[in-house]
Amino acid sequence: MLLERLQQAFLDSVSAVYATDSPEALVAAKSLHWERPKNASFGDYAINVSPLSRPLKQAPPAIAQQVLQPLAEQLAGLVELPLTVVGGFVNVRLTHQALTKALHAGLQAESLVENTALTGQRFLLEYVSANPTGPLHIGHGRWAALGDSLARIWRTSGAQVDTEFYINDAGVQIEKILHSVMFRLVEQLQALNALPQAENPWTCHYPGAYVSDIAQAFLAVPAQHDWALSHAGQAPETLTRDALAPLESVVIPAVRAQQEALLAKLGVTFDRWYSEKAELHQADADGATPITRALTVLEDRGWLKTEDDALWLCATRAGDEKDRVLRKKDGEYTYLSADIAYHHEKFTRPQNYTHVVNIWGADHHGYIPRMKAALVALGHLTDPTDARFEVLLGQLVNLIVDGEKTRMGKRRQMLTLDDMVDEVGTDAVRFWMVSKAADTALDFNVDLALSTASENPVFYAQYAHARTAGILRTVQAAFPELTEAALAQTSSDTLAPLWDALESDEARHAARQLLLHLNQAPHWVANAAKHRAPHSIARFVLETASLFHAFYTHCRVLTDTPTITRPRLALVLLTQRTIAQTLALLGVTAPHQM
């Protein structure tokens, strides 16, 4: 790859000039990288040597001049000579021969995005983790798109990734959904005159229409109808959760099935669905649960205290703003206790994850210090800054309808993520949801997402791919021998006419900029992997589309001469494959026709 050659040549040049005088300079040089100048007149790539001033005690221009000669010798044939220096920047411009070889290598490569940035690392990524109490909302859609895209990007960058959905099916919210269904059961049985028209003893905590649907489906089964008839009219305080188990065994799987089906529609799957109730609250032969075992570890390590008849985690010792209750006076464990046990289990798995990553909503910001404190207390983190545990916070999604921000359902009957997917499609939802950094509030413009305007980012990106496919079809109709397989096997010499045969400086510039950008695809993916930034892949795709449209504007691909058409079509094919592979990292399709 071009950038790897430039990088290694720079390091070798710094070593040749300064290795004896300053070993520190070599360490500093490894952190420097070639970048594309904003002004193309400076060249194709530039590197800033200013950070070497401190260890070398020289001005940046002097350092740049010192490394210029050995750098030019190493890059002979790859860059145009002489190299130039502007301030502390060394600028290079690649030769047409080097660009042609890059095009040739790209055509032969199976993957245009794979890289080794995270080789040897293993991730456990938990995301979405919605309570099994109702349909997924728009925020869940953002976490789903973000998490699945991250997993794809990390795997493409050489990491092993396991994904997980935590089912919070043991807390008070489960009792609330069961009580809500009981409310609807009473309501429907009264409507059928199966129960007397008395005051409904149950409370409807979840008023959504889906609760009525669940109740109706429950009553459709004779045995369940009989159970409901004998229990629905009773006072709620007389029925424990165990007594409601026949209802729970139907309600929770029904909600989970709905959530899983929608996630599958979004192209999101998980390696493991982790049930809090089944995994954390089940006792072993000695009567211990994962929760009590985790608390034992904390006690043995001296991180617990008893105060006011409650059990506390001494979280302030690890940077939290206050100590946290783990077991209340009545003996009931707090939600934090279960969460601590869950994360303790994550860190003790045989996979020995190098990174345990959670995606949480922005409203969980205050929960991060207490979880880090618990992991320090358990001995899994050295301190709260230990990078082995990461939390990515996602900001809210604002819906824009008719140019105005609106709450879901205020202006349209779209109450759930499912409704949104049906309205604008999976591709639009996934692309829009990762189009901005996760810590930035996202404005989802519903009308724009439905449009075929170039301002619609997903349409703009997909249209570029469809246009490349259309060009390939048109040219291959005129020259049947120029198949994709034949183009992929085109020799470097056969591609050389690309530059001399272009009709104008604008065409040559557009072709250079497009090819240079395509060659950077694995580096964009590597940076997205390192910085947990799928939105940068969305930006890469849009820049690719823009550069391709500029190339197509200035360069006629189909000519009367196959030898001239072939290299131009090869560049179109490389563009098509790059767009398709980067869109795939976001879970977005690459259509051949639109």
Q: Where are the domains of the chain?
A: 2-94, 172-251, 457-585
Q: At the top level of CATH, which class does the domain 2-94 belong to?
A: alpha beta
Other C-beta atoms lying within 10 Å of the C-beta of residue 362:
13
Nearest-angstrom CA–CA distance, 535 and 149: 9
Please give the pLDDT value at position 414: 46
457-585: CATH architecture: Orthogonal Bundle (1.10)
Please give the pLDDT value at position 396: 86
* Consecutive H or E run containing 324: strand 324-327
Tens-digit pLDDT profile for the chain (594 aa)?
788 999 999 999 999 998 767 788 888 899 999 999 988 888 999 999 999 999 999 999 999 999 999 999 999 999 999 999 999 999 999 999 999 999 999 999 999 999 999 999 999 999 999 999 999 999 999 999 999 999 999 999 999 999 999 999 998 999 999 999 999 999 999 999 999 999 999 999 999 899 999 999 999 999 999 999 999 989 999 999 999 999 999 999 999 999 999 999 999 999 999 999 999 999 999 999 999 999 999 999 999 999 999 999 999 999 999 999 999 999 999 999 999 999 999 999 999 999 999 999 999 999 999 999 999 999 999 999 999 999 999 988 988 887 777 655 444 444 579 989 999 999 999 999 999 999 999 999 999 999 999 999 999 999 999 999 999 999 999 999 999 999 988 899 999 999 988 889 999 999 999 999 999 999 999 999 999 999 999 999 999 999 999 999 999 999 999 999 999 999 999 999 999 999 999 999 999 999
Phi first, then psi, for residue 587 (nearest 5°) are: 70, 25
Q: Which of 309, 308, 381 is nearest to 340 (CA)?
A: 381
Check if the beta carbon of residue 280 is closer than 8 Å to that of residue 293. Answer: no
For residue 439 the two structure tokens come to 């810590």
The DSSP letter of residue 314 is -
Nearest-angstrom CA–CA distance, 27 and 440: 34
Q: H/E/C letters for each residue in 150-168?
A: HHHHHHHCCCEEEEEEEEC
First to last CA, the chain: 33
Residue tagged 């080789």 (tokens): 119
Cis peptide before 82 (omega within 30 of 0): yes
Q: Which of 541, 376, 564, 582 is nearest to 459 (CA)?
A: 541
Check if the beta carbon of residue 110 is closer than 8 Å to that of residue 126. Answer: no
Please give the pLDDT value at position 411: 40
Left if phi > 0, otherwise alpha if psi is -120 to 50, otherwise beta: which for 324?
beta
Please give the pLDDT value at position 335: 94
Nearest-angstrom CA–CA distance, 154 and 147: 10
Nearest-angstrom CA–CA distance, 72 and 63: 14
Q: Which of 237, 374, 380, 248 is nearest to 319 (CA)?
A: 374
Nearest-angstrom CA–CA distance, 394 and 433: 10
Nearest-angstrom CA–CA distance, 358 and 363: 14
- Count of alpha carbons within 13 angstroms of residue 423, beta-carbon side: 21
Domains 2-94 and 457-585 share a fold: no
Q: What's the whole-model pTM score?
A: 0.94
Nearest-angstrom CA–CA distance, 573 and 585: 19
Please give the pLDDT value at position 501: 87
For residue 319 the two structure tokens come to 């940077």
